[in-house]
Amino acid sequence: MSIQVPYGLELTEDCKKCTDRKDGFFCQLPCTSFQALSDAKSTSSYPAGAILFVEGQLPRGVYMLCKGRVKMTMTAADGKSIILNISEPGELLGLNAVISNTPYDVTVEALQPCQINFVRREDFLRILKQDNGIAFATLHQISNSLHGACNEIRYLGLSRTAAEKVARFLLESATKGQDTTLGKRFNLALTHEEISQIVGISRETVTRTLTQFKTRALIAMKGSTVVIRNESGLRALVAA
């Protein structure tokens, strides 16, 4: 059953009837595993800018992102923030904290209106012990989170120049893009400030570097749409 709610979002409460299932780890569970999570969840909507949970907060449960996109940020003592990940539908949020019973290590904020299915920690751990399909999907997501952390290390510690950082970011963002006659096209619904928090350079440097890439015909941009026009040129910057 679908329900109209504020923020221009249509909630789908019955997961079995959802027509928006993604390739995320938990949307492709076997029917029995999927039903176990579905029976334990509660469904809510969040507007853009809403905070799901805060770094340092004790874990109440896991949040399955069904619709929309969220960003995970970590803040230093001086107030400086970095974005660790942009999460897509099909992912569970707060997973590490729930399993380890430690405070959430990131703050999660909605980038656009979102549908979230929430499962209490006690219920999720019980299902995790009983269901091999959910245990495997959980392991898969933890592995993917580790991969994301390694990418963040590359941005912040191993990339030597701003051009390399931004080129690497664009190439990774384009992995799920669409091949066109002009190049690989993808949607980049992030501000220059948010990109700067991901790659570890200033907003002004992000803006200047993207402008240089456009001038050199490495990319084309219109609104939030980006086209990689010269992929080999971007890869050369990463390999330099």
Helix (H, G, I), strand (E, B) or coil at 41: coil
Place of tokens 């019980």: 126
| Phi-psi category of residue 223: left, alpha or beta, with phi > 0 → left and psi -120 to 50 → alpha | left
pTM: 0.76
Q: Regarding predicted confidence, which is higher, 7 or 117?
A: 117
The answer for residues whose C-beta is within 8 angstroms of residue 74's C-beta and 6 or more apart is 55, 81, 82, 84, 105, 106, 107
Provide the Cα torsion 70, 98, 169, 9; round to 10°.
Answer: -20
Contact between 225 and 185 under an 8 Å Cβ cutoff? The reply is yes
Look at residue 106 and tell me whether its pLDDT is greater than 90: yes
All domains in the chain, ordered by first residue: 2-158 (2.60.120.10), 162-239 (1.10.10.10)
Look at residue 99 and tell me whether its pLDDT is greater than 90: yes
DSSP state of 59: P
Supply the mean pLDDT for the chain: 86
Q: What angle do CA 79, 159, 186 make, to 5 degrees?
A: 85
Confidence of residue 196 (pLDDT cuts 50, 70, 90): very high
Lowest mean pLDDT among 32-36, 117-121, 137-141, 160-164: 32-36
Q: Regarding predicted confidence, which is higher, 158 or 116?
A: 116
